[in-house]
Amino acid sequence: MIIAAADGSALGNPGPAGWAWYVGDDCWAAGGWKHATNNQAELTAVLELLRATAHVDDELHIQCDSQYVINAVTKWMAGWKRKGWRKADGKPVMNVELLQALDAELVGRRYRFEWVKGHIGHAMNEAADERARAVAEAFRRGAAVIPSGPGWTRGGAVEPRVDEIAVAEVSDEVEPMEIPPPLEPADAVSDDAALFSLDELPEEWHAITLDLSTEEYDRLVVRARAEGVSPEEFLRGLI
C-alpha cells in the first residue's frame, strides 16, 4: 500500500496557489499557478498523485484534509456524471475539467481516502501543506518555483508529462486558473561535461559561478532535460 498526503493552498482564495503530494522526503511533487482557488489546488494535488502512481499496482491510501475533495470523489461524482456533470439544482458543477480528469484517472485504481484535520501537526499532511504553500508564496513573490520535487521515485519511474488542463471552471467572480507557460525550447547539450561551459560568451553576457550540491545538480539536470534544454539554459530562463 502507498500512503500519501495531498494538499493545496491558495493565498487569498482565489490567489497565488500551490498543490503538493507527499510520500516521503525523497518522493514528492509540487506545482501551482498565479491565480486559482483552494479547491482547485486540493483537487489537483490528488490528480497529480494519481498520475504519478498510474504505473503502480499498489492500493493508494490518500490522506487529505479537504472534505470537499473526498466527498466529490466518493459521494457526489457518480450523481454528477448521471446528470451530465450538473448539480441537483441544474447548475454546472464547478471545477468540472479537474473532476473529469480525476474520474478518468480513478478507473481501475485501488484507492481509499482518509480525512485528516489540517494544521494540527499531522506529519505527512504538514509536509504536503508546507510544499504547496511554498509554491503559492513563490508565485506571490514572482519567484521561481524551485524545487518542484523529485517526483515519483519508488517502484519505477514515469515519463514527465505536460498538464493538459489549462483552465478550470470557476465562478463568475473568479479569474480562470492559469498554467504558467513552459520555457522556450533550446538545443539540448549532448555532452554532460560541457553543460555549464560558458566559453566564448558574447561581450554583453556575464559569467556567473554557481555552487551546487550533487543532489541539487542532479535535480537541475532532470528538470532541464524534461524541458528539452541544457541546465544553463534552464537557469537562464529562470533568471
User: Annotated catalytic residue: which of 18, 32, 42, 151?
Assistant: 42
pLDDT for 119: 87
User: Annotated catalytic residue: which of 7, 105, 227, 233?
Assistant: 7
User: Annotated catalytic residue: which of 57, 119, 142, 203?
Assistant: 119
Please give the Cα distance from 214 to 165 (Å, whole number). 34
Q: Count Cβ atoms below 10 Å from residue 124 Cβ, excluding itself.
A: 19
> Is it the case that residue 139 has pLDDT exceeding 50?
yes
User: Annotated catalytic residue: which of 129, 227, 232, 233?
Assistant: 129
Q: 90 Cβ partners below 8 Å, 6+ apart?
A: none
Q: Among this protein's residues, is 89 annotated catalytic?
A: no
> Is it the case that residue 165 has pLDDT exceeding 60?
no
Task: Please tell me the least confidently modeled range out of 11-15, 40-44, 154-158, 173-177.
Answer: 173-177
pLDDT band of residue 223 (cuts 50, 70, 90) is low
Q: Among this protein's residues, is 35 annotated catalytic?
A: no
Q: Which domains does the chain have, with CATH numbers?
A: 2-141 (3.30.420.10), 192-238 (no CATH)
Q: 185 Cβ partners below 8 Å, 6+ apart?
A: 227, 228, 229
Q: 73 Cβ partners below 8 Å, 6+ apart?
A: 46, 102, 106, 113
Task: Please tell me the least confidently modeled range out of 18-32, 52-66, 170-184, 215-229.
Answer: 170-184
Q: Among this protein's residues, is 119 annotated catalytic?
A: yes
pLDDT for 185: 34
Task: Please tell me the least confidently modeled range out of 23-27, 68-72, 118-122, 222-226.
Answer: 222-226
Taking only the tens place, the pLDDT of each residue in 176-220 is: 333 333 333 333 333 333 333 333 333 344 456 666 666 666 666
Q: Among this protein's residues, is 187 annotated catalytic?
A: no
Q: Among this protein's residues, is 8 annotated catalytic?
A: yes
User: Annotated catalytic residue: which of 48, 65, 105, 227?
Assistant: 65
Please give the Cα distance from 135 to 63 (Å, whole number). 20
Q: Residue for cell digits 556575464?
A: 206
Task: Please tell me the least confidently modeled range out of 98-112, 127-141, 148-162, 180-194.
Answer: 180-194
Taking only the tens place, the pLDDT of each residue in 104-118 is: 999 999 999 999 999
pTM for the predicted model, two decimal places: 0.66
> Is it the case that residue 16 has pLDDT exceeding 70?
yes
pLDDT for 106: 97
Taking only the tens place, the pLDDT of each residue in 64-99 is: 999 999 999 999 999 999 999 999 999 999 999 999
Please give the Cα distance from 107 to 78 (Å, whole number). 13
Q: 103 near 95, Cβ under 8 Å?
A: no
Most confident of 143-147, 187-191, 230-234: 143-147
Q: Among this protein's residues, is 65 annotated catalytic?
A: yes
Taking only the tens place, the pLDDT of each residue in 46-61 is: 999 999 999 999 999 9
Q: Count Cβ atoms below 10 Å from residue 98 Cβ, excluding itself.
A: 23
Kindly report the average pLDDT of the chain as a whole number: 78
